[in-house]
Amino acid sequence: MKAPHTLVAAVISAAALLSGCASSPSYNDSYSNNGYNRGGYANTASMGYGVIESIQVTQAENRTSGGGAVVGALVGALAGNQIGSGSGRTAATVAGGVGGAMVGNNIEKNRNAGSGQEMYQVNVRMDNGEYRTVVQDSVYDLRVGNRVRLVDGRVYRY
């Protein structure tokens, strides 16, 4: 009778941990390093002035922190450990851990899917001739041809 109570407690604890593991990713400089460095545009955007060359709408990536996989693996291993005895129990524990990790990662990915918002890739020709790409969550009143200022990975109208 003790095993079902242990399993229920482990599942409740894992659910509480999993709900606290979700985080929203930062999309500024780290996002622009993931495949959005095209056409000679540099992906560093610290401080400077320039003119907007283009603005493109992109979809935010659906990333996971890995917390869902860890918690899922723990819950799966605990559940697998309740099955069988001897080498069968070991195999069930390993299989439960692997399966739980996959399920936990998918749960976290699906939970973060609602935050898949539109992002804007802004390509700027700097005054010194360099090209920089910044991905940010809004462009406010920015238009192609506007004179802009780059500060801490964001583009502002100048």
All domains of the chain in start order, with CATH: 1-25+63-115 (no CATH), 33-62+116-158 (2.40.50)
Gap between the Cα atoms of 122 and 143, Å rounded: 10
- Helix segments in the chain, DSSP class H: 2-21, 29-32, 67-81, 87-112
- pTM above threshold 0.85: no
- Residue 139 scores a pLDDT above 50: yes
What's the burial of 48, exposed, middle or buried (CB within 10 Å: 0-12/13-18/19+)? middle
Convert the pLDDT of each residue in 61-103 to its tens digit. 666 778 888 888 888 888 888 887 888 888 888 888 888 888 8
Question: For position 145, what pLDDT does the model report?
Answer: 94
Gap between the Cα atoms of 158 and 22, Å rounded: 36
Convert the pLDDT of each residue in 98-125 to its tens digit. 888 888 888 877 776 655 567 889 999 9
Higher pLDDT pick, 21 / 117: 117
Higher pLDDT pick, 152 / 17: 152
**Phi-psi label, residue 66: left if phi above 0, alpha if psi -120 to 50, beta otherwise:** left
